[in-house]
Structure 1
Amino acid sequence: MKKGFLVLALTARFTCPAFGASTPDVPADSSVPVVPSDYVVDAGDVLEISVWKEDGLTKQALVRPDGGITFPLIGDLQVGGQTIHQIRSEITRKLGEYFAEPEVSVSLVNLNHKIYVIGRVNKPGEFVTPNRVSVMQALSMAGGLTPFADDDAIKIIRRIGGKEVALPFDYDAVASGKSLEQNILLQRGDVVVVP
């Protein structure tokens, strides 16, 4: 009985604000992606755009393969390759021709964030993630390493400025708490190769 009480008390301590626990600002809908400020919008992402006190100017927009969206009063707008802040600023500037100081809100409601894990993992393939994930998280999504995987020779293939570069990843070092800087957040299109 005492053990059950302890579990209940610990659960209450970490979930009930009355116990003085600091609760992080987590959205009620956990499917809402957490987007870093430097995230660059690309084709397949879905934006939600709204203008305060203008109900007709609320829209979810799928970013087309050419990086564009269509928005009322503005028409076509190129958003691919821009951050949410840059998109909000551009929409605010363009709507400024119609409204005095429009209050524009732009959020990302769905990321088309694909990464790939190939080689000696249990479930290789393409993974669409709602948020950016680390290398260790990606390997977990792929079912972990197979017994014959060369865990200290894993590479992340990333396209930077039109060229592909290979970033090293030593699984054992990261798993033991060393070389944690190698456990980077993967970018859209990254390929984790497990030899």
Structure 2
Amino acid sequence: MKKLLKSFCFITTLLVSSVIYADDAYTLNAGDQLSISVWNEDALQREVVILPDGTVSFPLAGQLKAQGQSVYDLENELKTKLSEFISDPVVNVTVNAVSGNTIHILGKVLRPGSFSMSQPLDAMQALSLAGGLNTFAEENNIIILRRNGEKQQILPVHYARIKKGQSLETNVMLKSGDVIIIP
């Protein structure tokens, strides 16, 4: 009975952690380094880098769009493509390095520059990575430039209000390629 209870607890923990993981699934970006393997197929073990156009190339599957997808989505797409050649393929994609997940912080911070995001970050966390605002920064004029395809979007960050617990909706989650400008 104890073994059954331990097994039940273990399986429940796995299920809960997979649901949590699915909500916070990492989005692949150009420059990310991946390992792709197909179980029982030694010829289909590859390390690849997502190209600047957002694609990866894999034998039998060809060019696949990887940028903007989760690891799970890419695994499923590979499985679909490979199933034309292999009966019920088991595909595993692992992120080795998140080289492409970068934001840029410009202006009146202590350490301006480009920063790799290894986990989801909001605007305030990113400003903290850059050492915070310097004394001459205009706290109410901070913006995020975000590219959506061919267009750019401007998102205001009301730093002074966020510090007071107001305008929290302007403390947006960052995406790869975002540029934060602090005048």
- Taking structure 2 as the reference length, what is the TM-score of the superposition? 0.76
Sequence identity (%): 39
1:1-195 mapped onto 2 (5 Å cutoff) = 36-37=24-25, 39=27, 41-111=28-98, 112-195=100-183
| Distance across 1 between alignment mates of 2:159 and 2:134 | 13
Consecutive unaligned residues of structure 2, counting only runs of 5 or more, are 1-12
| Distance across 2 between alignment mates of 1:169 and 1:78 | 32
| Distance across 1 between alignment mates of 2:35 and 2:24 | 16
| Distance across 2 between alignment mates of 1:36 and 1:157 | 23
**How far did 1:172 drift?**
2.1
CA deviation map 1:144-176 (0-9, x unaligned): 101111112211111124221211111122223
CA-based RMSD of the aligned residues comes to 2.6
Question: 1:136 aligns to what SS in structure 2?
Answer: helix
CA deviation map 1:8-34 (0-9, x unaligned): xxxxxxxxxxxxxx9x96xxxxxxxx9
Q: State the AA in 2 paired with 1:101.
A: D
> Which residue of structure 2 aligns with residue 14 of structure 1?
none
> Which residue of structure 2 aligns with residue 4 of structure 1?
none
| Distance across 1 between alignment mates of 2:57 and 2:149 | 28
Asked if 1 retains the 8 angstrom alpha-carbon contact of 2:143 and 2:181, the reply is yes
| Distance across 1 between alignment mates of 2:145 and 2:128 | 18
Question: 2:29 aligns to what SS in structure 1?
Answer: coil
Asked if 1 retains the 8 angstrom alpha-carbon contact of 2:144 and 2:178, the reply is yes
**How far did 1:35 drift?**
9.1
| Distance across 1 between alignment mates of 2:102 and 2:23 | 15
More helix, by proportion: 2
Consecutive unaligned residues of structure 1, counting only runs of 5 or more, are 1-21, 26-33
| Distance across 1 between alignment mates of 2:41 and 2:25 | 26
CA deviation map 1:66-121 (0-9, x unaligned): 33323244344443344433321221012212322112122323221111111111
Kindly tell me the number of residue pairs found equivalent between the two proteins.
164
Question: 2:53 aligns to what SS in structure 1?
Answer: coil
Higher mean alpha-carbon deviation, 51-60 vs 160-169, is at 51-60
